[in-house]
Amino acid sequence: MDGYEVGEHLAFKHETIVTLYRATSLVRNNLPVVIKKHEFHFLNSTETQHRVTACLNAALSQAKVQHPGACEILEVQFLVDGSNCEVYHVLESLQTSVGRDIETGKRYSEWEIREFLLQTASVMDYAHKKVKSI
């Protein structure tokens, strides 16, 4: 991808749908980012065109949601090669340690879990209202 130094592949449960990578933005002062790669094959099929359109619409909707607890979409790149295409969403990396904590087996207290859930609910509520008003 242009403008990024792609690094570590991140394990993700739904890799058949999307692949995640840690990366560094070469044009944003080495800002740490996450690149979300969607691959589509047989671009000439109507079903694939609908899936690509849905992917791009989701990125545009997410880009409009600006909340302190949500990742910001910094850029969307769309690459076509014959009948295949790839859509890349470049997301701000929140640099949280939650993923590392889970990998190391950390157990969160009930209070910490409630705080995570409240933050998640706040982001979802805000995003729903923001996208719905567009």
> CA end-to-end span of the chain, whole Å?
30
Identify residue 20 by its one-letter amino acid code: L
pTM for the model: 0.65
Cβ atoms of 20 and 38 closer than 8 Å? no
Question: Which CATH number does 4-96 carry?
Answer: 3.30.200.20
Tokens found for residue 4: 């990024």
Q: What is the pLDDT of residue 6?
A: 92
**Position 23, amino acid:** A
The Cα-based distances of 72 to 40, 63, 76 in angstroms read 23, 6, 11
Q: For 33-81, write each residue's pLDDT tens digit.
A: 888 888 888 878 888 888 888 888 878 777 777 766 667 788 888 888 8
Where do the domains of the chain lie? 4-96
Q: Which helix (H) or strand (E) holds 123?
A: helix 110-132
Average pLDDT of every residue of the chain: 78
High-pLDDT (> 90) share of the chain, %: 3
